């Protein structure tokens, strides 16, 4: 099959592109890693200045202030310890810190003795060698520092100091807030890449793809007759004309493929994701920054979910614009819409699982929208949110729905939808007597084409996952509501835009529901394509439905665009 | 004998079983609804100590984003408005005319009156009390 050669060539080309870009990325990363340690011959007094105030302060910025006030005199302005060079910054009569009894001749009444080894360095080679993780480091700080009076730091100060010391050593993961619960997971000595490189995972996956492609290329040469399990999922043969990509757009197959990717990557994420309000965003950060291949797996999950919405929309448009939902496929059209709704709910619950500042307002707005439903609004709100306002209970419920309830529903709908495709006689075609082209392709050929589409989609997915990381922001905290992240997720931007025009219930709940209902009843209420025109684009019979669908699509597209450009 | 008005034995049993199935289903549903009706006790604070009256001088305008609320001192009278948008609950932000909602663009003036929709209701006025020791307390409930 020449077509088969094509995708092997594509795979190898993609491999080459990614490999060369990995070299490029690696090179730029290593050039960043080189930091020049400057040696200043004369002491620069500005080194004693208070560190600048950062707003809003990260944990390490608070630590910098504490460090300046309490630790710097002994441990140095950049954690170098009590070196001779640093000691020379002291006034001449106070430089004998090496001696017992600090501050020389006039040391204060209740002063303390510096250990004879001096104050150790906190950064640089060999520093902090006795600590393996942040929890141990923090414990030491809180138990033994500052020397006078020992243990006088609050827990918050100690953690912010730990964060600052990690930053000094260039080992603080971005966006983390260290605390008792995650401290033992954050290493002191292992350099944290933030976020993790996706290259090793990409190389692994592309290797798998190429090996599979070669295997699939070779396999039929040895085994012509026996259909395997995947062949048996397909009819023995289907009409050649309707199996072309330009008719199906491959969208149904892509949707199945993306769903499988989502299932696998989602299951893998569950091993590290912690669904509590104080841990969720941190555990996502852990996946992204610490778990090997975690960043790639999360990006794949994210991009599959986004692509699934697009692919499903394309599938819906294809079915409407070819009139394929004509009887007996009316009910399957409704099942397909159900799948779209479930997918949007899965996307929204998955989006909320980040539990970072980026999702705060979308959750508040979504929750308050439920309240506006007459009669059942209050009860439904309580059922969905699990309390009087979004909180830990909401996250637990969204998690349960995302990984179990909605996923189960989606799985049942997928199986039902595909079963109905077969039950309703496969892809929509005119009845045999009215068919002009009689050519058919076998299931072997069909499966090959499907695998080809999967590989192409897989490569696109990998490229996106490498170039555009899935978003994650700082964890939601009760005290610092950040502004500027008030945009809905992109697939609900059109609803957000609608909400700007008036009544929340009419525009935010009723309108989307009516859109779905309108699409669902189309095959029942509007004229359908007659069976002779099936199996091609734009049949005359269901012209009204085609126009309606395209109009709805364009309106939603324009609203999404307006929502995206506002502010 | 009037056979047509009488239910046959078979139909009676069929009807009875259906009614029983229906009742057991309703019973199960009511149990489910009861299960989901539990509302945990709210932990959201509704009282906030604002500190000394003296820290709100005449003519001042203080935004407390943690409540969220804005506190005015107009000629000695302390006023407070909630900064929760009355449309769909986002926290509104300062602008030149008063406040604007980042989510759907509602605008309010400094006294919480709606300048521009989609919000319909004015900002909620919050009760502020001066305690004996000249401390202020705000009630959001």
H/E element holding A516?
helix A511-525
Kindly report the nearest CA distance between residue B117 and chain A, in angstroms: 7
Dihedral sign, Cα of residue B10, residue B12, residue B16, residue B22: positive
Residues A412-416: what's their mean pLDDT?
A: 96
Asked if A402 and A273 touch (Cβ cutoff 8 Å), the reply is no
CB contact under 8 A, B89 and A364: yes
Residue A193 has pLDDT above 50, yes or no: no
pLDDT score for A40: 43
Contacts of B91 in chain A (CB under 8 A): 481, 483
Asked if A166 and A175 touch (Cβ cutoff 8 Å), the reply is no
Chain segment A417-458, per-residue pLDDT in tens: 999 998 988 888 888 777 777 788 888 888 888 888 988 898
Return d(Cα A188, Cα A171) in angstroms, integer. Answer: 7
Contacts of B117 in chain A (CB under 8 A): 502
Q: How confident is the model at residue A555 (pLDDT cuts 50, 70, 90)?
A: very high
pLDDT score for B60: 82
CB contact under 8 A, B42 and A369: no
Q: How confident is the model at residue A34 (pLDDT cuts 50, 70, 90)?
A: very low
pLDDT > 90: what percent of chain B?
4
Closest CA to B86 of B64, B108, B71, B70: B108
Chain segment A79-137, per-residue pLDDT in tens: 777 777 777 777 666 665 555 445 544 555 555 555 545 677 787 766 777 776 777 78
Kindly report the nearest CA distance between residue A56 and chain B, in angstroms: 13
pLDDT score for A444: 83
* Helix (H), strand (E), coil (C) string for A310-350: HHHHHHHHHHHHCCCCCCCCHHHHHHHHHHHHHHHHHHHHH
Return d(Cα A500, Cα B87) in angstroms, integer. Answer: 10
Closest CA to A383 of A368, A394, A372: A394
pLDDT > 90: what percent of chain A?
29
Return d(Cα B65, Cα B93) in angstroms, integer. Answer: 9
Q: How many CB pairs under 8 A join A and B?
A: 65
In the predicted model, residues of chain B with pLDDT beneath 50 are none
Q: Map out the domains of chain B as residue ranges.
A: 1-38, 47-139
From the list B36, B40, B66, the residue facing A479 with the nearest CB is B66
> CA nearest A503 in B: which residue?
B118
Return d(Cα A96, Cα A105) in angstroms, integer. Answer: 9
Return d(Cα A562, Cα A8) in angstroms, integer. Answer: 41
pLDDT score for A172: 64
Return d(Cα A178, Cα A282) in angstroms, integer. Answer: 9
Contacts of A483 in chain B (CB under 8 A): 91, 93, 102
Beta strands in A418-503 (DSSP E): 440-442
Backbone dihedral angles phi then psi of residue B97, each to the nearest 5 degrees? -85, -20
Chain segment A196-216, per-residue pLDDT in tens: 677 777 787 778 778 877 777
Return d(Cα B121, Cα A178) in angstroms, integer. Answer: 42
From the list A388, A480, A496, the residue facing B104 with the nearest CB is A496
Residue A31 has pLDDT above 80, yes or no: no
Domains contained in chain A, CATH given:
58-183 (1.10.760.10), 227-565 (1.20.810.10)
Mutate to test the interface with B, among A363, A396, A500 (most CBs of B within 10 A): A500
From the list A361, A367, A502, the residue facing B118 with the nearest CB is A502
Output A45 or B8, whichever has higher pLDDT: B8
Contacts of A496 in chain B (CB under 8 A): 103-104
pLDDT score for A519: 94
Return d(Cα A469, Cα A460) in angstroms, integer. Answer: 14
Residues A67-86: what's their mean pLDDT?
A: 79
CATH topology (fold) of B47-139: Rieske Iron-sulfur Protein (2.102.10)
Output A400 or B103, whichever has higher pLDDT: A400
- Strand B47-52 and strand B61-64: pairing? unpaired
pLDDT score for A93: 61
Chain segment A231-284, per-residue pLDDT in tens: 888 888 888 888 888 888 989 999 999 999 999 999 999 999 999 888 888 788
Task: Of A43-52, A63-72, A95-104, A473-482, give the lowest mean pLDDT range.
Answer: A95-104
Return d(Cα A419, Cα A416) in angstroms, integer. Answer: 5
Most trustworthy range by pLDDT among A160-174, A482-496, B108-122: B108-122
pLDDT score for A102: 53
Residue A425 φ/ψ region, left for φ over 0, alpha for ψ in the -120 to 50 degree band, beta for the rest:
left
pLDDT score for A22: 52
H/E element holding A284?
helix A280-289
């Amino acid at each position: 099959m020449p077509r088969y050669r094509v995708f092997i060539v594509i795979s190898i080309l993609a491999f080459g592109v990614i490999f060369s870009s990995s070299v490029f990325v690696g090179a730029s990363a290593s050039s960043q890693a080189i930091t020049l340690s400057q040696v200043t011959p004369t002491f620069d007094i500005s080194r004693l200045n208070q560190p600048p105030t950062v707003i809003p302060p990260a944990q390490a910025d608070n630590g910098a202030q504490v460090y300046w006030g309490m630790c710097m005199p002994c441990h140095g302005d950049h954690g170098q310890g009590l070196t001779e060079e640093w000691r020379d910054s002291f006034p001449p009569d106070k430089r004998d810190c090496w001696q017992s009894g600090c501050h020389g001749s006039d040391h204060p009444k209740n002063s303390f003795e510096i250990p004879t080894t001096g104050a150790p360095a906190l950064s640089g080679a060999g520093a902090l060698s006795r600590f393996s993780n942040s929890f141990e480091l923090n414990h030491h700080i809180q138990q033994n520092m500052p020397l006078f009076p020992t243990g006088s730091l609050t827990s918050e100060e100690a953690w912010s100091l730990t964060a600052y010391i990690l930053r000094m050593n260039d080992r603080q993961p971005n966006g983390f807030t260290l605390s008792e619960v995650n401290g033992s997971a954050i290493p002191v000595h292992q350099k944290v890449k933030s976020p993790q490189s996706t290259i090793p995972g990409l190389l692994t996956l592309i290797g798998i793809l190429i090996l599979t492609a070669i295997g699939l290329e070779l396999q039929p040469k040895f085994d012509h007759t026996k259909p395997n399990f995947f062949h048996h999922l397909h009819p023995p043969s289907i009409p050649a004309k309707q199996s072309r990509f330009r008719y199906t757009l491959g969208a149904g197959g892509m949707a199945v493929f993306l769903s499988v990717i989502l299932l696998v990557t989602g299951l893998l994420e569950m091993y590290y994701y912690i669904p509590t309000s104080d841990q969720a965003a941190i555990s996502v950060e852990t996946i992204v920054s610490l778990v090997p291949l975690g960043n790639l797996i999360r990006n794949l999950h994210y991009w599959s979910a986004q692509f699934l919405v697009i692919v499903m929309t394309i599938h819906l448009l294809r079915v409407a614009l070819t009139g394929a939902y004509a009887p007996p496929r009316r009910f399957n059209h409704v099942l397909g819409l159900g799948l779209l709704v479930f997918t949007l709910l899965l996307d929204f619950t998955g989006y909320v699982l980040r539990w970072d500042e980026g999702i705060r307002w979308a959750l508040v707005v979504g929750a308050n929208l439920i309240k506006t439903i007459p009669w059942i609004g209050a009860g439904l709100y309580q059922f969905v949110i699990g309390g009087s306002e979004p909180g830990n209970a909401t996250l637990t419920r969204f998690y349960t729905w995302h990984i179990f309830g909605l996923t189960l529903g989606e799985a049942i709908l997928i199986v039902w939808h595909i079963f109905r495709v077969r039950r309703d006689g496969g892809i929509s075609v005119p009845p045999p007597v009215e068919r002009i082209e009689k050519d058919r392709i076998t299931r072997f050929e069909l499966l090959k084409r499907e695998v080809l589409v999967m590989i192409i989609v897989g490569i696109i997915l990998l490229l996106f996952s490498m170039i555009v990381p899935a978003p994650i922001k700082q964890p939601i905290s009760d005290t610092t509501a950040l502004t500027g992240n008030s945009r809905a997720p992109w697939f609900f931007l059109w609803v957000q835009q609608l909400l700007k025009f008036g009544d929340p219930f009419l525009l935010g709940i009723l309108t989307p529901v009516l859109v779905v209902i309108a699409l669902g009843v189309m095959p029942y209420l509007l004229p359908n394509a007659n069976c002779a025109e099936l199996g091609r684009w734009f049949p005359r019979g269901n012209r009204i439905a085609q126009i309606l669908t395209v109009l709805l699509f364009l309106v939603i597209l324009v609203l999404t665009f307006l929502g995206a450009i506002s502010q | 004998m009037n056979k047509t008005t009488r239910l046959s034995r078979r139909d009676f049993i069929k009807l009875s079983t259906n009614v029983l199935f229906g009742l057991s289903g309703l019973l199960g549903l009511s149990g489910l609804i009861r299960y989901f009706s539990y509302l945990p006790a709210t932990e959201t604070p509704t009282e906030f100590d604002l500190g000394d009256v003296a820290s709100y001088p005449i003519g001042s305008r203080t935004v407390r984003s943690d409540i969220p609320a804005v506190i005015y001192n107009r000629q000695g009278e302390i006023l407070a408005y909630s900064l929760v948008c009355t449309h769909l609950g986002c926290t509104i932000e300062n602008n030149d005319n008063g406040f604007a909602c980042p989510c759907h663009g509602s605008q309010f003036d400094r006294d919480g009156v709606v300048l521009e929709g989609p919000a319909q209701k004015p900002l909620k006025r919050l009760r502020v009390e001066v305690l004996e020791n000249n401390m202020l307390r705000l009630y959001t409930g």
